Amino acid sequence: MRYFGLLTILFTLWNAPLKADERPNILWITSEDNGPHLGCYGDEYADTPNIDSIAEQGVIYQHAWSTAPVCAPARTTIITGMYPPSLGAQHMRSSTRIPDQFKLYPEYLRQAGYYCTNNSKQDYNLPGGNVWDESSNKAHWRNRKEGQPFFAIFNFTTSHESRIRRRPHTPVHDPAKVRVPAYHPDTPEVRRDWAQYYDKLTEMDQQVGKTLKQLKEDGLADDTIIFYYGDHGSGMPRSKRWPYSSGLRVPMIVSFPEKYRHLAADDYQQGGSSDRLVGFVDLAPTVLSLAGIEPPEHMQGHAFHGKYEADPQPFMFGFRGRMDERYDMVRVASNGRFIYLRQFMPHRIYGEHVDYMFQTPTTQVWYQMYQDGKLNAAQSHFWEPKPAEELYDLQNDPDEVNNLADSPQHQEVLKQLRSALHEHLLSDRDAGFLPEPMMHARAGDDTVWEMTHDPQRYNLQRIMQVAYLASNRDPEEIKKLAVWINDDDAAVRYWSILGLNVRGESAIKQLQAHLQSHLDDESPSVRIVAAEALAKFGDPSLQERAIGQLIDLSNVETHGPYVSTLALNSLDAVNPVFLKDYVDQIKALPTKHPSLQQRLRMSAVTPNLIDYLMVKINAMDK
């Protein structure tokens, strides 16, 4: 009995919250749109002494992922401690609620007595509520009550994508000395953008130095655990927005003062480096763990420091959904050495026209050189349709240009990562297997998370079966797709028809009789993929009807932003030669809808797509 009594006492002591004077302050310093291009990560072009000083006192993580390669979904991951596709928040600037019982991590910290500040960007991709004591450009730990522990974020935008193309700018880093990755063409414009990127990293580093100086001036350095990380890969094209390592890998450094060294993981070593796989999904449970708060069960990440540290994880996961005006679906897994990408929309090229991305000089010259036939295979890859699977050896091919998915020597690791990703998608109930309009319509008044956990409304395993079949490009499986075209589940019908679009003209012509009836499908998403197929390769009468259907569904006033964006993407996939007779109808499409600005922050999506369509059609006359 004494033995069990002792166990009870030890268990109670272990799970008791930390006393006020035992709780560390926690400072997060974050920067935007930059990968590990820092001196402490061995980058010889970088000039980042202040961030390097954090690394000298702490540990750098060699395998840290943002989970999403763009800011809003990446921030969803951080604030919730969950993978955004499990919440329906995988799209850039989405409009998704979370269940009421899921609190955001600052709420748990505040309940425990922490003073929580955010200076100042939020962009969580979902309603944030009143989760901060202060969130503004004046938010600071200095405004807390005397003796109150703090959690403070300072987010610096200096290295953001928009800053690396801002002109005039006189380069400080020599463009001739920067390293151009194998997927970019080596041109003056590309070198200029990379040099300016390094210049902005230096400016950002100086801001980091000012924050560290304030911490020391306030006598808080010995009481504060410091995190530094970037919010996703660099703002250069094929980094930001793309779930390669170049878009997902971020610098992450954690520094413990001696007073709180006991809260660090066993692999923590001052001035050291860790190969532990960590990601943004792990940040919320980790900060709660450091504060002595047990992470709630709904959080899908794992604490990598603190009282509730979990075992190291064998895989990291990432994703890509809609990027501004362009729909896509990519899911990713890595074991640190290899990265595996599964493309569910391989008929779309990598570098589809995103207006914001095309404002960067590198993007413009890169695309023009492709059009002119001046690129090699590695540089051309971004502008061409995607394979269903990609596998890269990050140790021997850090630029990820040599796809090993078909390599006989790499089939075991391919199967391992393929299986790990499949299990992850199932266990987290990935909502991305529903097109965005269907996802919200099917959820109704419930949250997407609640809908996806109802097997009557979301038979994920069955839908995934058809999605895999649809995206693998095997022409021998057209008959298998035909079986699903008239299924009772609209998601199954959507994927079976998308599979015909993936396979192209021959498949569509074989099954156009089946497609015709779906121009009147009850689901707008199914009507759109059927109309895209027939508008591209249907008989003339069906083609005319299909184009008319796509134009109608592109009306944002009538159908709302989700449907209109999906329809405009499909309309853009149609040969512009076929659209010349519809110029007036396309030009007349409305571009405004109340929910665009209020709920989605997507006010530029519809006009960007319409403008781009008109440019393509008008170019046919030149």
Q: How confident is the model at residue 128 (pLDDT cuts 50, 70, 90)?
A: low
Whether residue 393 contacts residue 404, with contact meaning beta carbons closer than 8 Å, is answered with: yes
In this prediction, residue 20 carries a pLDDT of: 56
Q: How confident is the model at residue 147 (pLDDT cuts 50, 70, 90)?
A: very high
3-state secondary structure of 467: helix
Whether residue 229 contacts residue 249, with contact meaning beta carbons closer than 8 Å, is answered with: no
Tell me how far apart the alpha carbons of residues 81 and 78 are, in angstroms, rounded to a whole number: 5
Nearest-CA neighbor of 257 among 14, 17, 26?
Answer: 26
Asked if 2-314 and 428-619 have one fold, the answer is no
Q: How many CB atoms lie within 10 A of CB 580?
A: 12
For 403-436, the pLDDT digits (tens) are 999 999 999 999 999 999 999 999 999 999 999 9
Tell me how far apart the alpha carbons of residues 281 and 67 are, in angstroms, rounded to a whole number: 7
Tell me how far apart the alpha carbons of residues 283 and 276 are, in angstroms, rounded to a whole number: 14
In this prediction, residue 604 carries a pLDDT of: 75
Low-confidence winner among 22-31, 211-220, 596-605 (lowest mean pLDDT): 596-605
Tell me how far apart the alpha carbons of residues 232 and 65 are, in angstroms, rounded to a whole number: 8
Between the alpha carbon of residue 379 and those of residues 184, 305, 370, 386, 402, the distances in Å are 6, 41, 8, 14, 12
Q: What length does the chain have?
A: 622
The separation between CA 509 and the C-alpha centre of its own chain, rounded to angstroms, equals 36
CATH topology for 2-314 is Alkaline Phosphatase, subunit A (3.40.720)
At residue 42, does pLDDT exceed 60? yes
Tell me how far apart the alpha carbons of residues 546 and 542 are, in angstroms, rounded to a whole number: 6
The separation between CA 136 and the C-alpha centre of its own chain, rounded to angstroms, equals 25
Whether residue 590 contacts residue 556, with contact meaning beta carbons closer than 8 Å, is answered with: yes
At residue 3, does pLDDT exceed 70? no
> What amino acid is encoded at 361 in this protein?
P
Mean pLDDT throughout 197-210?
98
Mean pLDDT over each residue of the chain, to the nearest integer: 94
In this prediction, residue 127 carries a pLDDT of: 81
In this prediction, residue 594 carries a pLDDT of: 75
For 63-122, the pLDDT digits (tens) are 999 999 999 999 999 999 999 999 999 999 887 999 999 999 999 999 999 999 999 999
Whether residue 596 contacts residue 606, with contact meaning beta carbons closer than 8 Å, is answered with: yes
Instruction: State the angle between helix axes of 490-503 and 460-471 in degrees (0 to 180), rounded to the nearest 10.
Output: 10
CATH topology for 428-619 is Leucine-rich Repeat Variant (1.25.10)
In this prediction, residue 278 carries a pLDDT of: 98
SS3 content of the chain, % helix, strand, coil (to 5): 50, 10, 40
> What amino acid is encoded at 172 in this protein?
V
Enter the tokens of residue 505.
Answer: 């003209």
Tell me how far apart the alpha carbons of residues 490 and 526 are, in angstroms, rounded to a whole number: 7
In this prediction, residue 1 carries a pLDDT of: 41
pTM: 0.96
In this prediction, residue 126 carries a pLDDT of: 86
The residues that bridge with 117 in the sheet, in sequence order, are 134, 152
In this prediction, residue 565 carries a pLDDT of: 95
Low-confidence winner among 124-138, 164-178, 384-398, 525-539 (lowest mean pLDDT): 124-138
In this prediction, residue 476 carries a pLDDT of: 85
For 453-484, the pLDDT digits (tens) are 999 999 999 999 999 999 998 888 999 999 99
Between the alpha carbon of residue 481 and those of residues 90, 460, 462, 478, 538, the distances in Å are 27, 17, 13, 5, 18
Low-confidence winner among 130-134, 202-206, 367-371 (lowest mean pLDDT): 130-134
Nearest-CA neighbor of 551 among 503, 609, 592, 485?
Answer: 609
Low-confidence winner among 95-104, 202-211, 386-395, 523-532 (lowest mean pLDDT): 95-104
Q: Write the CB contacts of 612 (distance below 8 Å, at least 6 apart in sequence).
A: 353, 355, 572
Q: Choosing from 71, 502, 507, 566, which is the catalytic residue?
A: 71
Low-confidence winner among 213-222, 232-241, 467-476, 522-531 (lowest mean pLDDT): 467-476
Tell me which of 41 and 474 has the higher pLDDT. Answer: 41
Tell me how far apart the alpha carbons of residues 129 and 106 are, in angstroms, rounded to a whole number: 11
3-state secondary structure of 9: helix
**DSSP state at residue 24:** P
**With helix as H, strand as E and coil as C, how does 139-174 read?**
CCHHHCCCCCCEEEEEEECCCCHHHCCCCCCCCCCC
3-state secondary structure of 383: helix
In this prediction, residue 21 carries a pLDDT of: 65
71 is catalytic: yes
For 562-621, the pLDDT digits (tens) are 999 999 999 999 999 999 999 999 999 998 877 765 444 567 788 899 999 999 999 987
**Dihedral class, residue 88 (left if φ above 0, else alpha if ψ from -120 to 50, else beta):** left
Between the alpha carbon of residue 504 and those of residues 146, 193, 478, the distances in Å are 67, 37, 11
Omega within 30 of 0 (cis) for the link into 506:
no
In this prediction, residue 317 carries a pLDDT of: 98
Mean pLDDT throughout 283-288?
98
Segments making up each domain of the chain, as ranges = 2-314, 330-414, 428-619
